[in-house]
Amino acid sequence: MGDMREIRNIVILTGAGISAESGIDTFRSEGGLWEQHRVEDVATPEAFARDPDLVLRFYDMRREAIQTKQPNKAHDALARLDSAWQGGLLIVTQNVDDLHERAGAKRLLHMHGEHLNAWCTACDIRVPWIASLIERPPCPVCGMQALRPDVVWFGEMPYGMDEIHAAVRNCDLFVSIGTSGAVYPAAGLVRIARDLGAQTLELNLEPSKGSPRFHEARHGPATVIVPAWVEEVLSGGG
Ligand code: OAD
């Protein structure tokens, strides 16, 4: 990585790998989520229309599971960086768990939505939600039984793209943590940053599909390599 004195604005993209050591399955690794449930059976609007019980049960299970998990040292390190970094910073997470915010991160955007929110498709309100949805509870605002998980499914537009693009276009350093680089538009952000002159760094357990898109890649478990990188940034090294 270059000299940190040149770095003012940082964008950090995170994926399932940052939560892996908290005990939350990643999507594409062996034994990962999509192997037990085909993507098209659970994570598309068409699947929800065809078999809402299957989709709601799947997300109920996930919503319950994440409430038993804790942030790990990688989430903690990013929260520390967020509070200490004087320049611009945005953590863009593809994760729908709440471990970044439980670790204390503030400058955070959930581009794929949040497990702990429900979205009423009747009145378009989004409400915090920790219970199950399978019994079709009424929307607390309009009373309609039209709540769905507030997660972005394949074929739907991720949240916050304007804000994300603005931050990426302005960043001097783009860091990707624990993501396979398989899902767009998230996977394309590094290209935008790099084309505009930002330094780019990948932190991942192993070389990912996206590794060649980065100036530098460091490999290892997130709980080890993320805190080490954050210490480096905060000490002005690089
Ligand atoms: P993936 O499961 O595709 O990739 C997880 C990445 O994390 C892989 O590159 C692993 O090598 C890496 N990894 C695993 N354990 C790690 C560890 N302990 N430390 C560091 N890295 C580790 O998950 P995502 O890239 O997040 O979208 O998947 C992107 C999107 O695909 C998800 O947000 C989800 C899914 O479809 C939606 O649900 C809309």
- Digitized pLDDT (tens) for each residue of the chain, 238 residues in all: 555 658 999 999 999 999 999 999 887 766 555 556 777 778 899 999 999 999 999 999 999 999 999 999 999 999 999 999 999 999 999 999 999 999 999 999 999 999 999 999 999 999 999 999 999 999 999 999 999 999 999 999 999 999 999 999 999 999 999 999 989 999 999 999 999 999 999 999 999 888 999 999 999 999 999 999 999 999 986 5
Q: Return the pLDDT at 63.
A: 95
Ligand 1 neighbour 218 (Cβ under 6 A): no
**Distance from residue 26's CA to the centre of ligand 1 (Å):** 5
**Using a 6 Å cutoff on CB, does residue 54 contact ligand 1?**
no
**Rounded to two decimals, what is the model's pTM?**
0.95
Ligand 1 contact via 20 beta carbon (within 6 Å): yes
- DSSP element (H, E) containing 45: helix 45-50
| Contact indicator for 3, 165 with CB cutoff of 8 Å | no
226, with CB counted inside 10 A (0-12, 13-18, 19+), is buried
Q: Is 74 in the pocket of ligand 1 (CB under 6 A)?
A: no
Which residue among the candidates 112, 115, 165, 215 is catalytic per the annotation? 112
pLDDT at 77: 98
Query: Which residue, among 102, 90, 100, has the nearest Cα to 13 in the 3D structure?
Result: 90
Q: What is the pLDDT of residue 2?
A: 54
For the chain, helix, strand, coil in percent to 5 are 40, 20, 45
Q: Could you confirm whether 219 is annotated as catalytic?
A: no
Q: Name the token pair of 111.
A: 């581009």
Nearest CA to ligand 1 atom 33: 94
